[in-house]
Amino acid sequence: MSASIRTKHALATGLAVVLSGGGLAVVAAPAHAETGPVSYTCPVLGTDYQVSVNTDSTAPAKMYVGDTANAVFDSDVVLPPELAKLAYEDLQARSFDGTVAAQGTFSGAALTVTETIPTTSLGDQTTTPAPVLFTATSPATPLKATLAGDLALEAGNLVATLNFTKQDGTQQVVPISCSAPKVNGKPPVVDTVVVVSKSSTALTLSRTRAGYGAPVTATAKVSTPGGTPAGDVTFVVDGVSTKVQVKDGAASLVINQAAVGDNPVSATFTPKDTTHYEGSSATPVNLEVTKAATSTRVKIIGKRVGERTSARIKVVGINKTVPTGKVKLVLRKAGNKGFHKVRRGTLAKGTRGFNLARLGKGKYRVAVKYKGDSNHRRSKTVKRFRVRR
């Protein structure tokens, strides 16, 4: 990228590193921006001079939150001929060296970048003044990414300290504060680095063994070193997927229809911002579902001689589930061993009715057995009743 101030790579995402007030500062910035040539305004002895500065950095194009990268900053500077002539004639300088300092923050942490200006000859400025080019270089500067997003390096203000060496060998130190131009009221953006946050997802169940139909809450907690991102968790139970939005770093699902047996439960986080956050999957947890206990009831209708007598059977799962399967009814009459009626049938929505015909006067005993199904246990009940005239 060519710019008077530029970087080979940006500094980090979500924020922007800016040369400002003699330093760097973090501001919001668009991704992968760059400036054109940046001309600094540098006042010296009451006159403003335009100095072109072109900065590169070796900051990586991508970092992960928590990573530290060492970046070297190089600035190609063009000292304008008018300023070179002033130093040559008024200061009687023949060469110079010095430093360029930038103070500020990177990804929320303090950052200091100091570049060294090598000894540079001013050349002969007596006849035709000529620009003087030099490159200031910094040592490796650690950059630690603590936030996810796009962090931009923006051109801002800086301070240079120039040591001018005179013809007689003496030196004169001249500090120069230079200001960068504003574009729509903001410093020009040089470049950005994408900072990505990894994530981890942990899955827990409120209980790992439950009867059929009993509610079990699966909770997936999503954590990242760069804050809590928005997104969804996809729960998969026995091959059935359910997507739940993450709120306050967690997503929950109530499971109450898992089949009897072992049911692996998995949870996968998918971030809404897939550029700056990575998804993750939790270690699956097994949910063992056992058959649910049931309750069988019978109601006798028609208890008068001459009326048709019927039995209404209802079977209910302990967790309010609806059993299927077969029931058997046996009717006996007290004092009459030869009286024996048997009815068999299949439940429909948990109920079954049987016609017991017209019964004579006396005491009766009805026994009902529910044989269970793949999700429900067996159960039985006994009821005694009297048929009156």
What is the CATH classification number for the domain harbouring 274?
Answer: 2.60.40.10
Query: What is the predicted pLDDT for the residue at 126?
Result: 92
163 or 59: which leads in pLDDT: 163
84 and 177 part of one domain: yes
Cβ burial 353-368 (10 Å sphere, 16+ → b, else e) = ebebeebeeeebebeb
pLDDT at 16 over 60: no
Residue 8 lies in a domain: no
Give yes or no for residue 103 having a pLDDT over 70: no
Same domain as 118, residue 66:
yes
Angstrom distance (rounded) from CA 245 to CA 270: 10
Calculate mean pLDDT across residues 289-294.
Answer: 97
Same structural domain, 320 and 352: yes
Same domain, 126 and 74: yes
How far is 10 from 143, CA to CA, in rounded Å?
Answer: 11
Question: Distance (Å, rounded) from C-alpha 17 to C-alpha 23?
Answer: 9
Of 263, 290, 317, which residue sits at a domain end?
290
Mean pLDDT of 37-54: 88
Q: Are residues 53 and 183 in the same domain?
A: yes
Strand partners, 296: 315
Q: How far is CA 353 from the centre of its chain?
A: 56
Rounded to whole angstroms, the Cα distance separating 214 from 375 reads 12
Q: Which residues form the domain of 317?
A: 294-387
19 close to 100: Cβ distance less than 8 angstroms: no
Q: Tell whether 236 and 253 lie within a shared domain.
A: yes
- pLDDT at 108 (0 to 100): 65
Same domain, yes or no: 114 and 215: no
**Total domains present in the chain:** 3
CATH code for the domain of 93 = 2.60.40
pTM for the model stands at: 0.73
Same domain, yes or no, for 33 and 71? yes
Percentage, residues of the chain above pLDDT 70: 85
What is the CA angle 239-243-248, rounded to 5?
Answer: 135
Q: Are 125 and 91 in contact (CB under 8 A)?
A: no
Over 90: is that where the pLDDT of 158 sits? Answer: no
What tokens does 250 get? 């967690």
Is 217 in the same domain as 184?
Answer: no
Q: Give the pLDDT mean for 142-170.
A: 85
What pLDDT shows up at residue 94?
A: 96
- Size of the chain, expressed as the number of residues it contains: 389
Q: Are residues 217 and 249 in the same domain?
A: yes
Structure confidence at residue 191 as a pLDDT band (50, 70, 90):
low
Indicate whether 212 pLDDT > 90: yes
Mean pLDDT of the region 277-293: 97
Over 70: is that where the pLDDT of 104 sits? no
Residues 160 and 40 in one domain: yes
